[in-house]
Structure 1
């Protein structure tokens, strides 16, 4: 497990899958805001669940987020689209509803940066989020990311197009935890 101050990132366990699927995937409106892929009905326990325990991959690193104080599953975090040639990756996080608003997102982002920069040797990490997702933009900014631009009406979200904000962090801008 990679530890932050409030959270840890560990490999996904089979016992995490039904909880993540139920709380993060089955909420169609929220899931539609969190993923660029269309929501499809996927039954719990299916190998097609986005939370199914993945085989190790060079292109993605999927983690379960654990709140250290309670040792409870708090959500998921991942680096995806890992490009070893460009030494860049994208970041995604999603916390269970009961764990939102506790200030965990900043810590999760910092731990993902440690993994991406210190463990994987990446040069750049990038976040794409809906432009009205103030919580994620604030967390990313607090973790050191810079807002780099807006992709106008680039995301189809539950019946309408929405703007996306792009935030980036370079390794030489990153401040490792002490």
Structure 2
């Protein structure tokens, strides 16, 4: 009996544009267990520049959705697996975690322990060591739309690289 893992097709977040490094998962048009055919729209992908439809390149059963709606993921992230019902599923969680770590390290310029891990040390002490505020493109856009200075968000949260989550939390807490 052969290795069935070769039959699984990984649906990967492709590179849409040279300046896009991450995207937000929009609405899923299919659910786990649904039959899909090549060309079927699987999910909406939202970037700072445009929205895209990610389509199935292979037919089969949508076996696993690996990226939830509204989650931000880097390019190359495996968002779903398509294959036959009998196919063994590869462990894409570890693969995606490694990719996320590499992406966050490239944004921060250093290795991080986890995307949403605990942050230690007094926030202002860590913030004082940095000049420019580092933030994801979505965080910058949200702050701009709400006329928020990202330095204020960084100072309040102590987070080294701001994401949309921290900016939204700041908006909720400060009524901006």
TM-score (norm 2): 0.24
More strand by share: 1
TM-score (norm 1): 0.24
Larger Rg: 2
